[in-house]
């Protein structure tokens, strides 16, 4: 059973993962700021995606396109006409709902009568140019995908790659959602991790199957429990205006099964539309077969913030240890905001220089955190709550034998190891080497 969302929100505030935006002014609805721990976890999610999608593959390249684009992009893509949600408004309390959220035609908040549905475009508009009267209306992008499609020709001609070819992008998107909510699950400003994978028509269905499996497995490899993930194929009537077929990877969030990522077959919709509206030939010449065609596109599209939330929820645990409850995040080590905490047993002036030296050695290789305040037990608890896989403790014996204690977050095992080569030992543990609790020094302590 997933944890209560209130517990996650409270942990996020307490430990510096996520704060309400503009909090000192009373907050801005559905906007959130990532604090010192949150920014690290979020960056690690993006790095893990980029590594799997771009770095470890030979058939995908990256791109970083601008948020503001020519307004005709959104006419061609169909977003001006079709990126809409049906909206209803309560005649009594004036609260607005997506029509799909309301089952019995009464306001879920006050029971008041609702208006007839009208289509509401989710794109944010703004004006570009210094003089308002002359400025042209532009949109904040609601997906990063269009920046990829309009650069297809540029990337193909400069990357010297053949199809199948993927172009990947991570960046901010904006949607004027009617009902944002559930913390960072649905917000008006969020980050996308999108891959547009260009293939030959006829191979698209195979590639869709391939990417559905790849993306599902990515979450499992990064520690999400299999029983909390499932796949759901879209029904014909819920497909986006560009999609031929689509699967959602769903996660069992506290509010129930909800979309984590969509993997769509966009057909040749986008390239054909941009070719038509721009007058540019966006077909691809296949030198091997001598054919020219408009590629089909398979699109795995994930939300950074939603993945962040799923990883946090899945890692959250409360354990009974020695009659006390410990809150711990069992985050995958490559996602944890801090990899190693360096903790001198106390602030004693004899310990500080050695502890600082150990910290200096480790911070070259890992995200580290130096903490010498309060009791060692409380410091361990703090690290558990932010998911730090390893704590390195420097005590008075370290001054004699040049050894330190490594404490492992999940097993609570402690081993004593030499300071020389400490980084290599930790690296091996992060790489999956078992935490050997057999030596004389190994103990299991809360």
Binding status of residue 359 toward ligand GAP by CB under 6 A: no
Which listed residue (2, 57, 177, 417) binds ligand GAP by CB under 6 A? 177
Preceding peptide of 16 cis, ω within 30° = no
Nearer to ligand GAP, 2 or 112 (CB): 2
Quick note: the x/- pattern for ligand GAP over 194-233, rule CB under 6 A, is x---------------------------------------
Contact between 265 and 296 under an 8 Å Cβ cutoff? The reply is yes
Contact between 146 and 118 under an 8 Å Cβ cutoff? The reply is no
Minimum distance of ligand GAP from residue 245's CB (angstroms)? 13
Structure tokens at 139: 């949109």
Q: Give the integer Cα–Cα distance in Å for 285 and 293.
A: 7
The distance in angstroms from the start CA to the end CA of the chain is 25
Separation in Å, CA 387 to CA 30, 46, 327: 26, 18, 9
Nearer to ligand GAP, 31 or 376 (CB): 31
Which listed residue (15, 42, 79, 186) binds ligand GAP by CB under 6 A? 186
- Mark the segment that binds ligand GAP (CB under 6 A) among 16-24, 71-79, 294-302, 334-342: 294-302
Minimum distance of ligand GAP from residue 130's CB (angstroms)? 31
Cβ atoms < 10 Å from Cβ of 225: 13
Query: How far, rounded to the nearest angstrom, does the alpha carbon of residue 291 sit from its chain's CA centroid?
Result: 39
Query: How far, rounded to the nearest angstrom, does the alpha carbon of residue 158 sit from its chain's CA centroid?
Result: 29
Binding status of residue 187 toward ligand GAP by CB under 6 A: yes
Binding status of residue 250 toward ligand GAP by CB under 6 A: no
- Mark the segment that binds ligand GAP (CB under 6 A) among 68-76, 187-195, 365-373, 424-432: 187-195
Binding status of residue 274 toward ligand GAP by CB under 6 A: no
Helix (H, G, I), strand (E, B) or coil at 432: coil
Binding status of residue 407 toward ligand GAP by CB under 6 A: no
Which listed residue (38, 164, 254, 262) binds ligand GAP by CB under 6 A? 262
Q: Give the integer Cα–Cα distance in Å for 61 and 53.
A: 9
Binding status of residue 190 toward ligand GAP by CB under 6 A: yes
Preceding peptide of 193 cis, ω within 30° = no
Task: Using CB under 6 A, list all residues that contact ligand GAP.
Answer: 143, 145, 175, 177, 186-187, 190, 192, 194, 259-262, 299, 301-303, 305-306
């Amino acid at each position: 059973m997933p944890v209560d969302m209130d517990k996650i929100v409270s942990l996020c505030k307490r430990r510096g993962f996520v704060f309400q935006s503009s909090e000192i002014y009373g907050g801005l609805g559905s906007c959130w700021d990532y604090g010192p721990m949150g920014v690290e976890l979020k960056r690690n999610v993006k790095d893990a995606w980029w590594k799997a999608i771009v770095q470890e593959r030979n058939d995908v390249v990256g791109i970083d396109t601008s948020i503001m684009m020519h307004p005709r992009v959104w006419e061609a893509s169909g977003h001006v006409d079709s990126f809409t949600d049906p909206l209803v408004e309560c005649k009594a309390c004036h609260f607005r709902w997506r029509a799909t959220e309301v089952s019995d035609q009464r306001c879920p908040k006050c029971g008041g009568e609702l208006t007839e549905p009208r289509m509401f475009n989710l794109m944010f508009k703004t004006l570009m140019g210094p003089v308002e009267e002359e400025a042209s209306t532009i949109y904040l992008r609601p997906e990063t995908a269009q920046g990829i499609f309009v650069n297809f020709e540029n990337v193909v001609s400069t990357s010297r790659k053949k199809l199948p070819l993927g172009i990947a992008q991570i960046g901010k998107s904006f949607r004027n959602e009617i009902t944002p909510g559930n913390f960072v699950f649905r917000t008006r400003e969020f980050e996308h991790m999108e891959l547009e994978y260009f293939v030959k028509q006829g191979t698209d269905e195979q590639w869709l199957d391939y990417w559905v499996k790849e993306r599902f497995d990515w979450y499992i490899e990064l520690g999400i429990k299999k029983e909390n993930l499932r796949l759901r194929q879209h029904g014909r009537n819920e497909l986006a205006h560009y999609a031929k077929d689509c699967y959602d990877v769903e996660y069992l969030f506290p509010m129930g099964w909800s979309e984590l990522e969509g993997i769509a077959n966009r057909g040749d919709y986008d390239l054909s539309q941009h070719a038509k509206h721009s007058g540019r030939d966006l077909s691809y010449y296949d030198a091997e077969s001598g054919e020219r065609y408009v590629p089909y596109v398979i699109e795995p599209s994930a939300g950074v913030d939603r993945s962040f939330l799923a990883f946090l929820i899945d890692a959250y645990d409360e354990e009974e240890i020695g009659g006390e409850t410990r809150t711990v995040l069992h985050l995958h080590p490559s996602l944890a905001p801090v990899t190693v905490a360096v903790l001198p047993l106390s602030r004693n002036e004899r310990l500080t220089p050695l502890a600082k030296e150990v910290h200096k050695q480790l911070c070259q290789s890992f995200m580290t955190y130096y903490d010498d305040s309060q009791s060692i037990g409380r410091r361990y608890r703090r690290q558990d709550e932010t998911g730090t896989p390893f704590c390195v403790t420097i005590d008075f014996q370290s001054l004699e034998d040049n050894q330190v204690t490594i404490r492992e977050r999940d097993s609570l095992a402690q081993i004593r190891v030499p300071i020389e080569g400490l980084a290599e030992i930790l690296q091996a543990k992060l790489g999956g080497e078992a935490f050997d609790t057999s030596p004389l020094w190994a103990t299991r302590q809360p």
